[in-house]
Every structure is written in C-alpha cells, then in structure tokens.
Amino acid sequence: MAMSKLVPLRFGDFLVEKHKISEAQLLDSLAEHWMTGLKLGESVVKKGYIQAPEVELLAAEFRDLQTVYV
C-alpha cells in the first residue's frame, strides 16, 4: 500500500479552494506580490478581490489549519 505525502497548503491555494478568488485572480495577486513584496493577503485586498476584514478572518482560519495534533 503506497502512502501519500502530506503537501503544505499555501494561502493562495486556500483562497481558491474556498472560492474566494479565481485561479486568474491568484496569479494576478501573486504577480503583484512578487513585484512589490506585499504579502499575498495585502495584494488580494489592493486588487479589490477580497475586503481586508475577510482576508484577516481567512488568514486566521488558514493558520489554524497549520496546526498538527499528534
């Protein structure tokens, strides 16, 4: 039986999976992020794809996903 590897989920992929932004909006926001150094969440807000309060809530939810209980 083959074991699958756990792959870390990136915040942008999380936003797409939650249907908050499209793949195209993610790529556009990533381009802004890479060119300016803004955090991805800041770029998404600057582009007008998601309002800042919602990004903050989504970021908190995303951080909770990073916790692994053994």
Task: For 7-51, write each residue's pLDDT tens digit.
Answer: 778 999 999 999 999 999 999 999 999 999 999 999 999 999 999
Q: At what angle do helices 40-47 and 52-65 cross, to 10 degrees?
A: 150
Residue 1 in any domain: the answer is no
Residues 49 and 25: beta-carbon distance below 8 Å: yes
Domain-embedded: residue 4: no
Is residue 29 one of the residues assigned to a domain?
A: yes
pTM over 0.85? The answer is no
Which has more pLDDT, 70 or 20?
20
Place of tokens 């990004």: 55
**Distance separating alpha carbons of residues 45 and 36, to the nearest angstrom:** 14
Residue 67 has a pLDDT of 56
User: Into how many domains does the chain fold?
Assistant: 1
Decide if 70 is inside a domain. no
Q: Is the pLDDT of residue 63 over 80?
A: yes
- Which structural domain range is residue 16 located in? 11-65
Residue 43, in any domain of the structure: yes
Separation between Cα atoms, residue 58 and residue 7, nearest integer Å = 20
Is residue 5 included in any domain, yes or no?
Answer: no
Comparing CA positions, the residue from 45, 49, 48 lying closest to residue 19 is 49
**Looking at the domain assignment, is residue 2 inside a domain?**
no
Q: For residue 6, tell me if it sits in a domain.
A: no
